[in-house]
Amino acid sequence: MCGIAGILNKNNTGVTEDLILMLSCMHNRGPDGVAIQVGQNEINSLESSESSVPYTDGRFGLGHVRLAIVGGQLGRQPFTSCDGRLTLEHNGEIYNYKQIKNRLRSQHHFISDSDSEVILHFLEEELVRSASLVEALTKMAKILDGVYSIAVKDQKTGDIALARDLLGVRQLYYSEDPEQVTFASEQKAIWRLGGNKSVKRVMPGHAVIISNKGTLREYRIADPPRTLDSNKKNFRYNSLEEALKAYKKSLMSAMRKRTKGLDRIGIIFSGGIDSVLVAWLAKDMVKEVICYNAGTLDSSDILFADRVAKDLELTLKVNVITKKSTQEILPKIIYAIEDSDALQVEVALPIYSAMALAREDHVKVVFSGQGVDEIFGGYTWYPKIVASEGYSSLRNHMMEDLFLLYKETLEREDKTTMAHGIEMREPYLDKQVVRTAFDINPRLNVTGPNDKLGKQVHRILADQLGIPKEIAYRNKDAAQHGSGIHFIIDQIARENNFDESRISSGYLRDLEKREILGSSKRYGFKYGNKELWLTSPHIQLYLDRIFESVFGKSNSFIDTSGEEYLLTNRIIKKT
């Protein structure tokens, strides 16, 4: 895991100082190393405390901050290909990198054991046979098993490619203006350069090609597997026995590949079956497993998580959230997730607080139960969709939810954990687990309009693996309600004089224009209790004002983190 930054200046102006400025606000993403490469220079490590570094400036540069998990100290990026044609940075994890490396070893010189370097040499090999970098990236997307966002420069053509995995588990942003094109793992790195920049995402399964002149084109490089065909009527697994066997095989494989080489991991643990099953499997694969939870003292999540952890003999650490700690932490949450949407903030807050404990324990990797509801039909409104629209419509809604996770959940959770220098892994979003889930007849997971639990195959497997039925079949509250966060933020907003009287008709019109994020808001309104999912305008206004105090009204950068970074005071000498 790491942070990527890059700049292409259209006016031949040097980029080094701006590049270092971008890296300075992503230090949390890379506590184990930082380096830049500008123009044709060698990689320049910026980890020493020297006051100056001799350097030749250039119009294009890549910067990288690194959280070292695979590859050791030799895994410093950017990497340069054997023939000197490609320079690459990667953020993510590739789980089949050793198999790919074995195929490439005889033709390429590897300088590290990093999974990231394998991507570089794969593209180098493919460009011998491919007509373009886009073709090589398309082949790469078919071969890689893992998650990624990458930036790669082709010195031969001058093109720069930005690419992202199919589900968008790892994010990458970019911005273009008359002066330069910039890209980074977090928006704040782009905002830091000022100028009220308009930031876009590299879309999941896509590549953005930036030409040497600074023009941009977008290409699709990865398509959903055939098993996710929206018109599919014949399913591979139609019996419960077949479904359970296939799911167990794919899930065990997903867990093994994500735990391999790790002696200690954390679990984002709510006490719900999704995180419980991950912890239950992990404890037989990893020497030390620590579960982390956060919420108000009497919240249902804390009470249930504590009881479950004791029943299953899991180590659990809890960060109790108070009104005072919430008020203090809200600006940090908004700074981390780069968003003021009430639902996003309320879900991020307990995870952020739990990860503070994981950071104290020097945990580098945490596992999440993210994705189960989307692929196994776990949301409470899904049975109501079956009742009114049928199973075919349910499957389409599930796929829509899955392919919107990138902006509704995954970006938020990546930034929330990485705010503490911790990588999050999502075994349920493994490529084979997703395929298997959508190969299962949806009637096995949502058994009918009166099925109040859903994800039956998932729950039955947990039961078969030894998790008590009362845990496997518990219907957990949404994170913001189960943790008690929603009610605390409401109190804080009112105590800061943000109540219904502050809401103007103009602000309400503005709220109506905002993008709806989350399955709960899209379908919960139609099929469930509207009041449960409705964002209170006075809470949203309060959070919007905090966002403005952190980033400014035009998203200009105001650092409220209170942390200084070594590079911000570094002077780069141009020679």
User: Which domain CATH number covers 353?
Assistant: 3.40.50.620
Q: How confident is the model at residue 67 (pLDDT cuts 50, 70, 90)?
A: low
Q: What is the pLDDT of residue 163?
A: 98
Q: Would the pLDDT of 529 be above 70? A: no
Q: What is the pLDDT of residue 32?
A: 74
Do residues 166 and 138 lie in contact, with contact meaning Cβ atoms separated by under 8 Å? no
- Least confident range from 213-217, 475-479, 510-514: namely 475-479
Compute how many other C-beta atoms are within 10 angstroms of the C-beta atom of residue 538: 19
Q: How confident is the model at residue 118 (pLDDT cuts 50, 70, 90)?
A: very high
Residues 248, 108 within the same domain: no
In a domain, 343, yes or no: yes
**CA-CA distances (angstroms) from residue 17 to 57, 172, 188, 252, 568?**
9, 21, 16, 46, 9
Q: What is the pLDDT of residue 315?
A: 96
Mean per-residue pLDDT for 419-427?
A: 96
Give the pair of three-digit tokens for residue 270. Answer: 């709510």
Residues 294, 263 within the same domain: yes
Who wins on pLDDT, 343 or 556? 343
Mean per-residue pLDDT for 36-51?
A: 66
Which residues are CB-contacts of 185 (< 8 A; sequence separation ≥ 6)?
2, 3, 4, 5, 26, 29, 91, 149, 170, 171, 172, 173
Residues 350, 293 within the same domain: yes
Residues 191, 294 within the same domain: no
Give the percent of the chain with pLDDT over 70. Answer: 88
**Helix H segments across 172-322?**
187-191, 240-259, 273-282, 300-312
Mean per-residue pLDDT for 32-61?
A: 70
In a domain, 574, yes or no: no
223, 256, 274 — which closes off a domain?
A: 223
Q: Would the pLDDT of 15 be above 50? A: yes
Residues 173, 249 within the same domain: no
In a domain, 570, yes or no: no
Q: Rounded to an integer, what distance in angstroms lies between the CA atom of residue 222 and that of residue 30?
A: 28
Q: What is the pLDDT of residue 430?
A: 97
Reported pTM: 0.92
In the block, residue with structure tokens 């994705």: 371
Q: Rounded to an integer, what distance in angstroms lies between the CA atom of residue 520 and that of residue 504?
A: 26
Q: How confident is the model at residue 517 (pLDDT cuts 50, 70, 90)?
A: confident
- Least confident range from 25-34, 282-291, 434-443: namely 25-34
Residues 218, 243 within the same domain: no
In a domain, 562, yes or no: no
Q: Rounded to an integer, what distance in angstroms lies between the CA atom of residue 384 and that of residue 394?
A: 9
Ramachandran angles phi, psi of 179, nearest 5°: -90, -40
Q: What is the pLDDT of residue 574?
A: 29
Which residues are CB-contacts of 189 (< 8 A; sequence separation ≥ 6)?
3, 5, 22, 23, 25, 26, 182
Who wins on pLDDT, 455 or 481? 455
Do residues 246 and 434 lie in contact, with contact meaning Cβ atoms separated by under 8 Å? no
Q: Would the pLDDT of 47 be above 60? A: no
Residues 214, 255 within the same domain: no
- Least confident range from 282-296, 299-313, 421-435: namely 299-313
Residues 186, 248 within the same domain: no
Q: How confident is the model at residue 558 (pLDDT cuts 50, 70, 90)?
A: very low
Count of domains for the chain:
2
Q: Would the pLDDT of 106 be above 70? A: yes
Buried b (16+ CB within 10 A) or exposed e, 420-439: bbbbbbbbbbbbbbbbbbbb
Which residues are CB-contacts of 27 (< 8 A; sequence separation ≥ 6)?
34, 65, 563, 565, 566, 567
Do residues 211 and 158 lie in contact, with contact meaning Cβ atoms separated by under 8 Å? yes
Mean per-residue pLDDT for 91-98?
A: 95
User: Closest by alpha carbon to 336, among 185, 167, 490?
Assistant: 185
**Domain enclosing residue 40, as ranges:** 2-223
223, 252, 282 — which closes off a domain?
A: 223
Q: What is the pLDDT of residue 523?
A: 75
In a domain, 556, yes or no: no
Who wins on pLDDT, 572 or 490? 490
CATH at residue 100: 3.60.20.10
**CA-CA distances (angstroms) from residue 226 to 234, 236, 512?**
12, 12, 36
CB-hemisphere CA count at 13 Å for 383?
15
In a domain, 567, yes or no: no
Q: Would the pLDDT of 461 be above 90? A: yes
In a domain, 561, yes or no: no
Residues 269, 198 within the same domain: no
Provide the mean pLDDT of the chain.
88
Q: Would the pLDDT of 548 be above 60? A: yes
Q: How confident is the model at residue 46 (pLDDT cuts 50, 70, 90)?
A: low
Q: Would the pLDDT of 379 be above 50? A: yes
Could you tell me what percentage of the chain is helix, strand and coil, using 3-state DSSP and rounding each to the nearest 5? 45, 20, 35
- What is the torsion angle, in degrees rounded to the nearest 10, for the CA atoms of residue 194, residue 196, residue 202 and residue 203? 150
Considering Cα of 16, then 22, then 24, then 28, what sign does the dihedral take? Answer: negative
223, 246, 277 — which closes off a domain?
A: 223
Residues annotated as catalytic are: 2
Mean per-residue pLDDT for 283-310?
A: 91
**Phi-psi sector, 454: left (phi>0), alpha (psi -120 to 50), beta:** left
Residues 325, 419 within the same domain: yes
Q: What is the pLDDT of residue 146?
A: 96
Who wins on pLDDT, 533 or 296? 296
Who wins on pLDDT, 294 or 574? 294
Q: Rounded to an integer, what distance in angstroms lies between the CA atom of residue 164 and that of residue 161?
A: 10
Mean per-residue pLDDT for 404-409?
A: 96
Q: What is the pLDDT of residues 151-197, one digit of tens each?
A: 999 999 999 999 999 999 999 999 999 999 999 999 999 999 987 77
Who wins on pLDDT, 106 or 446? 446
Q: What is the pLDDT of residue 532?
A: 60
Q: Would the pLDDT of 459 be above 80? A: yes
CB-based burial label for 396 (10 Å; 0-12, 13-18, 19+): middle
Strand partners, 8: 60, 181
Give the percent of the chain with pLDDT over 90. Answer: 70
Q: What is the pLDDT of residue 69?
A: 61
- Least confident range from 98-107, 195-204, 528-537, 539-548: namely 528-537
Q: How confident is the model at residue 482 (pLDDT cuts 50, 70, 90)?
A: low
Q: Would the pLDDT of 533 be above 70? A: no
Residues 173, 273 within the same domain: no
Q: Which helix (H) or strand (E) holds 425?
A: strand 423-425
In a domain, 364, yes or no: yes
Residues 370, 508 within the same domain: yes
